[in-house]
Amino acid sequence: MDSYRRVSRRGLILGGMQLGFAGLLGLRMRYMQVDQADQFRLLAEENRVNIRLIPPARGQIFDRNGAVIAENAPSYRITMVREDAGNVEEVIARLSALVELDEDELNRALAEMERSAPFLPITIADRVGWDDISRVAVNAPALPGVTPEVGLSRHYPMGDDFAHVAGYVGPVSERDLARYADPEPVLRIPRFQIGKVGVEAKYEEMLRGRAGAKRVEVNAVGRVMRELDRREGEAGADLQLTVDNGLQNYIKARLGTESASVVVMDVTDGDLLAISSSPSYDPNKFVRGISFDDYAVLRDNDRRPLASKTVQDAYPPGSTFKMVTVLAALDAGVISPEETVWCPGYMEVGGRRFHCWKGGGHGHMDLEKSLRESCDVYYYDLALKVGIEKITDTALRLGLGMSHDIPMSAVTEGLTPTKAWKERERGSSWVIGDTVNASIGQGFVLTSPLQLAVMTARLATGRAVTPRLIKSVEGRTSPSHSGENLGFNENHLRWIRKAMFAVSNNRRGTAYRTRIAEDAFRMAGKTGTSQVRNITAAERARGVTSNDDLPWNRRDHGLFVAFAPYDAPKIAVSVVVEHGGGSSAATPIARDVALQALYGRDPPLDAYPKKDRGRIKTQQERLARERRAPDGEESSRA
């Protein structure tokens, strides 16, 4: 009996334990199936549903008249997902039998595949033809993980005309990602394109837009079965530049093979109508990643096609700086326009002889004559009277020595030196000879072609005109940059403008031979020559070597600045021809560009001096043949 009771007690205990366990199991099952049903349903859904980003359409860039500078062109490409492909080498072998694969591009794709997540699609071949896409689609069962796609790729229909302005895009690099503390997911899409230089880089976030997303159902091996839904991204903002495509295209053709730069600025509102650097390059080559050989050709060219000379390079301004020196002297009250200085061809300062470009001297020079004939001694004398600090202050007010806020790469500040600057940067004291050199735009003074155009616009208007490159963003017009009054004495500015007019229109003016003959468009300007080498006393004694007899990179730079029309200024122009041998290389370019800008087309031959009309007609015919329009259309201005 006792034994029976013991067995029954054990049975009850075991039964109770089993019942309790079953109860707990039931409760757990209820919790999982009922209370947590939504969570486990979501987990199951995630096992078969992938979220994929949709790259946004990049904003387009237009010129001031609506011509397309940068657009998005449809592009066929072939992608591969590593985890879906299985044996990548085998699939690549099958694919190469159907489509010709570029070896460099393939190696780059395989390297991307190794460092990217296995589920990300990697571009194996970009910009392939429709026939290639068709062959891949037909053979899809034998190419696991391979997908033919249609996407958008950046295209620059104007070619090299806007390379230094608009810039270009390229695939995101590790260096690009390092600039962001928390990079957007879209930047991690292999071969996603972002702005590298120029407007494309400066307005990257606006142009990029926002990525969309799509949910796709995949099978057990990862192949996409169907698209469940999608959320379209937000396209980037469209930009309109102030630059005129027709004028920019003309300047590119007019410069030809010269290593030169031209800036054309509207003096009423600061709009940059043209900003061209020569030689240039085709930005389309950078979109997919330029080849080593193509890049080497650009890098090793001594005329530096990759440099944005208009804003990046700084040159001694030479005699184009003389307006700064004379305005500083007038403003300081140390000279009047009628006062004269005797020029014997040199000036002795501190035991050193500073020469005028005219060895025999100019004789008695006043303000107008000194600018008209570009006498150096007159400005040496002014510099001793006014001093470097006042000259530099005037230069800054005229827009030199500062980095103007435009969205181009590597915009230089140039250099307007002071005594403190030399002590700080060179570790030596300022000497009087430094001031003498600076008075004619030599020595330490450095300016960019953009700064020279700004200086000329401010002299023409008396206002703090500043350059503007962006006309509108997504249809919203950017503020005008006409500027406030600079506070200079208007009579002083009138004297300087009158002297600049004489430079181009008086028979003794240094730019008379390249004047504008049309009375309504007469221009006022100033020539400049800046030395790139020292001329020794021994060389002067035996005769200074002609630029024509020097190697190209040892010749003087040629400069010219101008505004027109003289009576009612509309545009300012600056031209710098590297190693052009002197200002005579720059003045005809400036005259031709000014007329093109003022007429909005090829000017009539009567706008030129009679002796030039035959040559100009031939030049216009040649340039009409050479000017390249986008998509094979005839080039014309709107």
Residue pLDDT, tens place only, 76-99: 888 888 887 888 889 999 998 888
pLDDT computed for residue 579 by the predictor: 94
> In one letter, which amino acid is 202?
K
CATH 3.90.1310.10 residue spans of the chain: 50-241
- State how beta strands 68-81 and 121-126 pair: antiparallel
pLDDT computed for residue 629 by the predictor: 55
d(CA 595, CA 326): 28
pLDDT computed for residue 6 by the predictor: 59
**DSSP string covering 534-577:** PPPHHHHHH-PPPGGGS-GGGSPEEEEEEEE-SSS--EEEEEEE
Contact assessment for residue 58 and residue 167, using Cβ atoms and an 8 Å cutoff: no
CATH (residue range 50-241)? 3.90.1310.10
CATH 3.40.710.10 residue spans of the chain: 245-285+307-632
CATH pick for 245-285+307-632 out of 3.40.50.720, 3.20.20.100, 3.40.710.10, 3.30.70.370 = 3.40.710.10
pLDDT tens-digit readout, 161-170: 999 999 999 9
Contact assessment for residue 568 and residue 591, using Cβ atoms and an 8 Å cutoff: no
pLDDT computed for residue 637 by the predictor: 35
3-state secondary structure of 630: helix
Q: What is the largest CA-CA distance in the chain?
A: 147
249 Ramachandran zone, left/alpha/beta (phi>0; psi -120 to 50): alpha
Q: Which residues contact 577 (CB under 8 A, 6 or more apart)?
A: 258, 259, 260, 557, 558, 559, 585, 586, 589
Residue 100: pLDDT over 90: no
Could you list the active site residues?
319
d(CA 503, CA 525): 6
pLDDT tens-digit readout, 267-296: 999 999 999 999 999 999 998 778 888 999
pLDDT computed for residue 634 by the predictor: 43
Contact assessment for residue 322 and residue 459, using Cβ atoms and an 8 Å cutoff: no
pLDDT computed for residue 319 by the predictor: 97
Residue 119: pLDDT over 80: no
pLDDT, average across residues 326-330: 98
d(CA 318, CA 583): 10
Mean pLDDT for the chain overall: 89
pLDDT computed for residue 383 by the predictor: 96
- Alpha carbon separation from 343 to 163, 282, 323 (Å, rounded): 46, 50, 18
- Tell which residue, 126, 128, 236, has the closest CA to residue 186: 236
Give residue 628's pLDDT band: very low, low, confident or very high (50, 70, 90).
Answer: low
pTM (2 d.p.): 0.85
pLDDT tens-digit readout, 450-462: 999 999 999 999 9
Poorest-pLDDT segment among 47-51, 333-337, 365-369, 433-437: 47-51
